Each structure stands twice: as C-alpha cells, then as structure tokens.
Amino acid sequence: MLDAQTRERLGRHLKALYEPVLDETLDPRLAELLRQLESDKRERGGS
C-alpha cells in the first residue's frame, strides 16, 4: 500500500511522462476509427 505522498509523486511523474503523448495530434485515420467505434457502440446501445 502506498502512502498519499508516494501516490502523489507517482501521479505527477506519470502525468509528466504522458503529457507529451496526449498533446500530439491524432492521426486522422485513427481519429476516424475511434469515431466509428463510438458510433457502433451507440448503435448497439452501449455506454
């Protein structure tokens, strides 16, 4: 079990690692695929 201070430090470190990835522009083909998957999910009644 991690204490609160360790969890916070770990969270900041992970955020710093992933922020550059999340800031990258999404490839249009991947964006279209994600839109299609969401559309299919809604049509099936999923959430």
* Three-state secondary structure call for residue 26: coil
- pLDDT of 5 reads 97
**Alpha-carbon span 15 to 32, nearest angstrom:** 26
**Alpha-carbon span 40 to 5, nearest angstrom:** 42
Q: What is the pLDDT along the chain (47 residues), one digit of tens a residue?
A: 899 999 999 999 999 999 998 889 989 999 999 999 999 999 998 66
